[in-house]
Amino acid sequence: MRQGHTKFRVNDKVEVIAGKDKGRVGKILKIDRENNRVVVERINMVKRHQKAKDATKAGSIIDKEAAIHLSNIKLVCPECAETVRTGKTILEDGTKTRTCKKCQATILTSK
């Protein structure tokens, strides 16, 4: 996959296909196109130590999502609810859309 290009969009529902969270499903929160990595909601959780800001705010340990590589996730089709590959389709009005290769449904980014 070339740098800066991805078939995924923010708010897409994806399944992890490799790594410690294999089989879990989540929503894409952030995409780093430069490094081909994504942050998925409640996937690849890591602990980070937060230093105390001042005497009134104590330090703590925070759980947060870490980025995973694009090759370790697969898109979940909203129609057939399976992990799928996507294709591009040009509609009659000239707009390009992503389509599911299994059920031919149009994949829209949910908000």
Domains of the chain: 13-52+60-84 (2.30.30.30)
Phi-psi region of 104 (alpha: psi -120 to 50; beta: other; left: phi over 0): left
Closest residue by Cα to residue 46 from 21, 24, 22, 71: 21
Contact 27, 15 (CB under 8 A): no
Report the residue count for the chain: 111
- pTM, two decimal places: 0.87
Question: pLDDT by residue (tens digit) across 56-101?
Answer: 889 999 999 999 999 999 999 999 999 999 999 998 999 999 999 9
DSSP-based three-state secondary structure for 83: strand
Is 27 a residue whose pLDDT tops 80?
yes
The confidence score (pLDDT) of residue 108 equals 81
pLDDT of res. 70: 95
Question: What proportion of the chain, given as a percentage, has pLDDT over 90?
Answer: 82
Please state, in angstroms and rounded to a whole number, the distance separating the CA atoms of residues 1 and 73: 14
Residue 15's alpha-carbon distances to 2, 24, 76, 100, in angstroms, are: 22, 6, 7, 15
Residue 42 has pLDDT above 90, yes or no: yes
